[in-house]
Amino acid sequence: MAKRALIIGGGLGGLFCGAILAKEGLQVTILEKNATIGGGLQSFTRFGEVYDTGMHVVGGLQEGGNIRRLCQWLGIWDKVHVRPIPTECTDRLYFAEDRQYYDIASGKEGFAASLSKHFPRQHDNLKAYVEAMYRICDEMDLFHLRPSTRDIFSHSEEFTMPAGSFIRQYISDERLQQIVAYVNPLYGGRKEVTPAFIHATISVLHINGLSRFAGGSQLFAETLGSVVKEHGGEVISGDGVQRIHTEGRSITGITTRKGKHYAADLYISDIHPCALLPLFDEASALPKAYRTRMQEIPNTYSAFLLYLKLKPEAFRYLDYTGYYVQGYDKVWNPMGSAFLYMTPPEIEQGEFSRKMIIAAPTEWQEVKRWAGTAIGHRSEDYKAWKQRKAEFLLSRMEEMFPRFKDCIEDLDTASPLTIRDYYGAKEGTMFGYAKDCTNMALSQVPVVTKIPNLLLTGQCVNLHGFCGVPLTAINTCEAILGPNHVINKL
């Protein structure tokens, strides 16, 4: 009989684990608390437009890219609707301090050339910096889908040094040191805390070429779900796991919010570990030291989001991701001074865009006073806070696009509270646990746990984001299927 695997959470990690395990012959059930599967891949419809919640730019899908290879092996690549971001300008940075724009190209040469236009004397430094980031990524066998037995302790000194120090080693111009760090809101980075390998991974994904989902990332979630179903598995949404039953150090079954019971041989959690722990009927099923550590690891920050419906033919479609930064000294401190904006593509994208998403890094502290409130029952002062945030962002948009507000037909907002409530992510964290180079052991969460039939996956384990989470899913599945089982097939 096939082993039964029950997956808690139908987000990016749960769906990839489900698809891989179902393809490899396990009997998979995925339980998702929300009405729709997807987690960070979830899209929603507002004002007649489809908006993505947590997947705006994605890496690893270029020709030969790691996630593209995984999709090809799963047999879904021809169903994935993505639009590559043009190489000449993947990101446009605007520094309000001196009203300067920087268009960042992809490709090793392109990246260095686009910045050495502004800093000609730094050309060789930029090239050395790019090579150093590729060297760091080369230390990660999983990133290249190579078999490995390497652990964190066998990495180079550069791998775990602070991202800020790593940049300073190669780039001597102080302003350029700030500019090349512009991607840090995509990993919740902290200059002297985040290890260089996180900065290098995200930067290399950009340099290798980014894509965007066309027509909404939800389509991709559905495609992954269909792999599970085609192999005889179940994907159940609208019914989350409420209790996990244990006997000694083993899970015997789970009960859902609707009161249904499920039992399996193996359980995989794709939810934030801090959301998982309270589900256990016996807290002592996991050692106290482990539980305390999971609660104490700091999380990356959250975001405030603006979803805009634009008037017909009022605003041209932007093929790049835009970054607004108040000043060069704010790059590593984007709270209240930096944000990203993008016009998500349709499957048939025309000259104009009907929608825009603006995402501003935001600390949980800003909304903590409303933490006890639920969606639909938030107070007037919370609504006033959201309105002030939205106004602030829109006035900054007008610095780059005069009369931008005239293009808006409608708008909606989401805050760290929304992110917490939709994904069940502690403090509305965007990217899960923060990695700390001064204490690497603290944020290293293994896929295996002290409960032999419980495994972890998702962004709090290893890497986050569209590329990192599926790679972790491979790790999780290989803990069941055997070392390098999936990698060898890819």
Ligand X SMILES: Cc1cc2nc3c(=O)[nH]c(=O)nc-3n(C[C@H](O)[C@H](O)[C@H](O)COP(=O)(O)OP(=O)(O)OC[C@H]3O[C@@H](n4cnc5c(N)ncnc54)[C@H](O)[C@@H]3O)c2cc1C
Least spacing, CB of residue 54 vs ligand X, in Å: 3
**Residue that has been written with the tokens 């807290």 in this structure:** 283
Name which of residues 304 to 333 contact ligand X (CB under 6 A).
Answer: 305
Applying CB under 6 A, among 27, 34, 178, 413 the residue interacting with ligand X is 34
Cβ(240)–Cβ(39) below 8 Å = no
As given in the structure block, the two tokens for residue 172 are 């001597």
Taking residue 355's Cβ as centre, other Cβ atoms within 10 Å add up to 23
Residue 85 or 407: the one with the smaller Cβ distance to ligand X is: 85
Judged by CB under 6 A, does residue 189 bind ligand X? no
Beta-strand (E) ranges in 3-56? 4-8, 27-32, 43-46, 49-52
Residue 58 or 325: the one with the smaller Cβ distance to ligand X is: 58
Residue 40 or 215: the one with the smaller Cβ distance to ligand X is: 40
Residue 217 or 353: the one with the smaller Cβ distance to ligand X is: 217
- Of 86-94, 133-141, 228-236, 465-473, the window that binds ligand X (rule: CB under 6 A) is 465-473
Residue 176 or 417: the one with the smaller Cβ distance to ligand X is: 417
Least spacing, CB of residue 25 vs ligand X, in Å: 23
Judged by CB under 6 A, does residue 33 bind ligand X? yes
What is the rounded distance in angstroms from the CA atom of residue 483 to the CA atom of residue 269? 20
How far CA 87 is from CA of 83, 114, 208, 432, in Å, comes to 12, 11, 9, 29
* x/- map, 126-145, ligand X, by CB under 6 A: --------------------
Judged by CB under 6 A, does residue 345 bind ligand X? no
Name the DSSP class of 277.
G
Host H or E run for residue 135 = helix 123-138
Alpha helices in 171-252 (DSSP H): 174-179, 196-208, 218-230
* x/- map, 271-290, ligand X, by CB under 6 A: x---x---------------
| Total residues found in the chain within this entry | 490
What is the rounded distance in angstroms from the CA atom of residue 334 to the CA atom of residue 340? 10
Least spacing, CB of residue 448 vs ligand X, in Å: 17
Judged by CB under 6 A, does residue 12 bind ligand X? yes
- Of 34-42, 75-83, 226-234, 391-399, the window that binds ligand X (rule: CB under 6 A) is 34-42
Residue 161 or 414: the one with the smaller Cβ distance to ligand X is: 414
- Of 223-231, 363-371, 448-456, 464-472, the window that binds ligand X (rule: CB under 6 A) is 464-472
As given in the structure block, the two tokens for residue 185 are 């809101």
DSSP strand pairing (302-310 vs 266-269):
unpaired
Judged by CB under 6 A, does residue 31 bind ligand X? yes
Residue of closest CB approach to ligand X = 11
Size of the residue set binding ligand X (CB under 6 A): 37
Least spacing, CB of residue 127 vs ligand X, in Å: 26
How far CA 89 is from CA of 85, 113, 150, 159, in Å, comes to 8, 12, 36, 28
Cβ(70)–Cβ(490) below 8 Å = yes
Name which of residues 225 to 254 contact ligand X (CB under 6 A).
Answer: 240-241
Cβ(13)–Cβ(274) below 8 Å = no
- Of 50-58, 83-91, 122-130, 370-378, the window that binds ligand X (rule: CB under 6 A) is 50-58
Judged by CB under 6 A, does residue 18 bind ligand X? no
Name which of residues 428 to 457 contact ligand X (CB under 6 A).
Answer: 430-431
Residue 31 or 163: the one with the smaller Cβ distance to ligand X is: 31
Question: Which SS3 state, helix, strand or coil, does residue 207 take?
Answer: helix
Judged by CB under 6 A, does residue 40 bind ligand X? yes
Judged by CB under 6 A, does residue 423 bind ligand X? yes
Judged by CB under 6 A, does residue 221 bind ligand X? no
Cβ(322)–Cβ(101) below 8 Å = no
Least spacing, CB of residue 42 vs ligand X, in Å: 7
Name which of residues 52 to 111 contact ligand X (CB under 6 A).
Answer: 54-58
Question: Which SS3 state, helix, strand or coil, does residue 364 take?
Answer: helix
Amino acid at the residue 468: G
What is the rounded distance in angstroms from the CA atom of residue 104 to the CA atom of residue 250? 51
Burial of 40 by CB count in 10 Å (0-12 exposed, 13-18 middle, 19+ buried)? buried
What is the rounded distance in angstroms from the CA atom of residue 90 to the CA atom of residue 194? 24
Applying CB under 6 A, among 106, 299, 418, 459 the residue interacting with ligand X is 459
- Of 51-59, 101-109, 157-165, 224-232, the window that binds ligand X (rule: CB under 6 A) is 51-59
What is the rounded distance in angstroms from the CA atom of residue 309 to the CA atom of residue 42? 18
Residue 43 or 114: the one with the smaller Cβ distance to ligand X is: 43
Name the DSSP class of 272.
-
Site residues (vs ligand X, CB under 6 A) = 8-14, 31-34, 39-40, 54-58, 240-241, 270-271, 275, 303, 305, 359, 419, 423-424, 430-431, 458-459, 464-466, 469
